[in-house]
């Protein structure tokens, strides 16, 4: 597609299944001088975007008669992102589905307006997004996107509290060494960020840091993921594939949630850690790699060993040095620092203009227990940035659960919502211990990890 001319008339596309809505929006935007096209179905929206250049797209989230789930709109949003990720898409939704609007923005929507809309608000959003679209497209967004990607890849470890002091000291002392490090801590406490900091402090920092969440890999493909495979090794092996160990050669391999590795595969991992050698699945050729191992878990590995689920000799290879990360509730002095860091990052991402948190919001964050730790704080600030209506984040924007939370009315919840609520309550009850949570819920640890990832907990 050709780039839009910055001096040409702005061209917008409006997608909605209601003719009255399309007519009203066309009349509203006509005095602004926009060239407006309309579409009444997701398929028509996609076809129009494929055939023409637009400065902005305004879409409804529901099209089928009686539909309120928003799935059609979310799917349409994903399809538009695949066609042109720089195209600003604005979604329309009712205030009763504000969580749906938040999900849409997570998937790439640049803003949302409520139905029934306020004319001034809708026109202001359109003007802003058109101006941003033209400015960003003129430089193809390369500089800003690359900077953002680098920032995400080098997430700084932030903290000055007394509780976090030993972690910072370990990064300074152990980072430059070749020692394998086991990082422990509750779910969401920042184990991955510590791994990045250790790699960045090492002589391997110019080489790859390859991360593997072992809890999310199905057992059937685990060996292939780590060691690779050759074409024809199994049914879906259409071509050769390099494993994570080979990709990390010369650098660092971070094995997250190490306690979830099936016991029958722990011996194969141990062999690689002992001599740096492995064979891809379906091959007899032995490869040698030079990899530093960082690993992480929130499980009690001593108990896992006692229960026969983890090899003690494997633990000895992993825990040359152990770094324990305290939960966020034990490092409250770091909450203001972390909250402001996340605020600045999400302000850039969502192009918002906020100056900080009001006193009530900060007080609420300082007195909340944060069962999801730093990850929950990050998601809370992200949501607050999206929902804030004032110049500062207010307590209500945080949407944190009250201290004495009452159970929601289950008959008013979706099955997915019930699952998310139950997992969140159970993991909070066990202080973030995934093994105990999985046992209480009747799940395997890997199954629970997949649900935690699905619900972004």
- The residue extents of the domains of the chain are 11-140, 165-325, 331-398, 410-455
Checking if the pLDDT of 81 tops 90, the result is no
CA atoms within 13 A on the CB side of 114: 8
The percentage of the chain sitting over the pLDDT mark of 70, rounded to a whole number, equals 89
> According to DSSP H, which parts of 175-238 are helical?
191-200, 219-227
The 10s digit of each residue's pLDDT in 326-350 is 999 999 999 999 999 999 999 998 9
Please give the mean pLDDT across all residues of the chain: 85
Out of 65-69, 244-248, 263-267, 398-402, pick the least confident.
Answer: 65-69
Confidence (pLDDT) at 183? 97
Answer yes or no: same fold for 331-398 and 410-455.
Answer: no
93 forms beta bridges with: 114
Q: What is the CATH number of domain 11-140?
A: 3.40.50.2300
Checking if the pLDDT of 167 tops 60, the result is yes
Confidence (pLDDT) at 263? 87
Q: How far apart are the C-alpha atoms of 435 and 439, rounded to whole Å?
A: 6
The 10s digit of each residue's pLDDT in 406-428 is 455 665 567 777 788 888 888 87
Q: What is the CATH number of domain 410-455?
A: 1.10.10
Residue 430 burial (C-beta neighbours within 10 Å; 0-12, 13-18, 19+): middle
Q: What is the CATH number of domain 165-325?
A: 3.40.50.300
Secondary-structure class of domain 331-398 per CATH? mainly alpha
This prediction has a pTM of: 0.58
Of 94 and 280, the structure prediction assigns the larger pLDDT to 280
Confidence (pLDDT) at 65? 75
CB neighbour list of residue 75: distance below 8 Å, 6 or more residues apart: 42
Checking if the pLDDT of 205 tops 80, the result is yes
Q: At 73, is the pLDDT very low, low, confident or very high (cuts 50, 70, 90)? A: confident
């Amino acid at each position: 597609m050709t780039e839009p001319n910055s001096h040409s008339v702005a061209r917008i596309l409006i997608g909605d299944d209601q003719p009255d809505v399309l007519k009203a929006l066309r009349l509203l935007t006509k005095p602004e001088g926009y060239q407006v096209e309309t579409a009444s179905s997701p398929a028509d929206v996609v076809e129009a975007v494929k055939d023409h250049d637009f400065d902005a797209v305004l879409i409804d989230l529901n099209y089928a008669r009686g539909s309120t789930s928003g799935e059609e709109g979310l799917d349409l949003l994903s399809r538009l992102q695949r066609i042109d990720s720089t195209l600003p898409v604005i979604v329309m939704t009712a205030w009763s589905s504000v969580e749906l609007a938040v999900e849409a923005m997570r998937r790439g929507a640049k803003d949302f307006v409520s139905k029934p809309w306020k004319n001034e608000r809708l026109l202001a959003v359109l003007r802003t997004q058109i101006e941003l679209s033209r400015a960003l497209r003129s430089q193809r967004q390369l500089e800003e996107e690359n900077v953002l990607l680098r920032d995400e890849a080098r997430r700084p470890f932030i903290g000055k509290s007394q509780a976090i002091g030993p972690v910072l000291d370990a990064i300074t002392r152990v980072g430059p060494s070749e020692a394998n490090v086991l990082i422990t801590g509750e779910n969401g406490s920042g184990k991955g960020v510590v791994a990045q900091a250790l790699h960045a402090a090492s002589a391997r920092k110019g080489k790859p840091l390859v991360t593997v969440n072992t809890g999310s890999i199905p057992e059937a493909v685990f060996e292939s993921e780590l060691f690779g495979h050759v074409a024809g090794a199994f049914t879906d092996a259409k071509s050769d594939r390099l494993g994570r160990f080979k990709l990390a050669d010369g650098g660092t391999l971070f094995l997250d949630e190490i306690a979830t590795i099936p016991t029958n595969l722990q011996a194969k991992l141990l062999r690689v850690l002992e001599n740096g050698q492995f064979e891809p699945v379906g091959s007899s050729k032995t490869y040698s790699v030079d990899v530093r191992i960082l690993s992480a878990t929130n499980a009690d590995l001593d108990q896992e060993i006692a229960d026969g689920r983890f090899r003690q000799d494997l633990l000895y290879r992993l825990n040359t040095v152990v770094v324990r990360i305290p939960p966020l509730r034990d490092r409250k002095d770091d909450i203001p620092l972390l909250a402001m860091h996340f605020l600045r990052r999400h302000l850039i991402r969502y192009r918002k203009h906020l100056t900080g948190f009001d006193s009530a919001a900060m007080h609420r964050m300082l007195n909340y227990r944060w069962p999801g730790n730093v990850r929950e704080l990050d998601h809370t600030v992200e949501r607050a940035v999206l929902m804030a209506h004032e110049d500062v984040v207010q307590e209500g924007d945080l949407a944190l659960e009250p201290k004495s939370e009452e159970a929601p009315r289950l008959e008013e919840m979706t099955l997915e919502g019930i699952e998310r609520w139950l997992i969140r309550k159970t993991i909070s009850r066990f202080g973030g211990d995934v093994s105990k949570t999985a046992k209480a819920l009747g799940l395997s640890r890997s199954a629970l990890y997949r649900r935690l990832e699905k619900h972004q907990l």
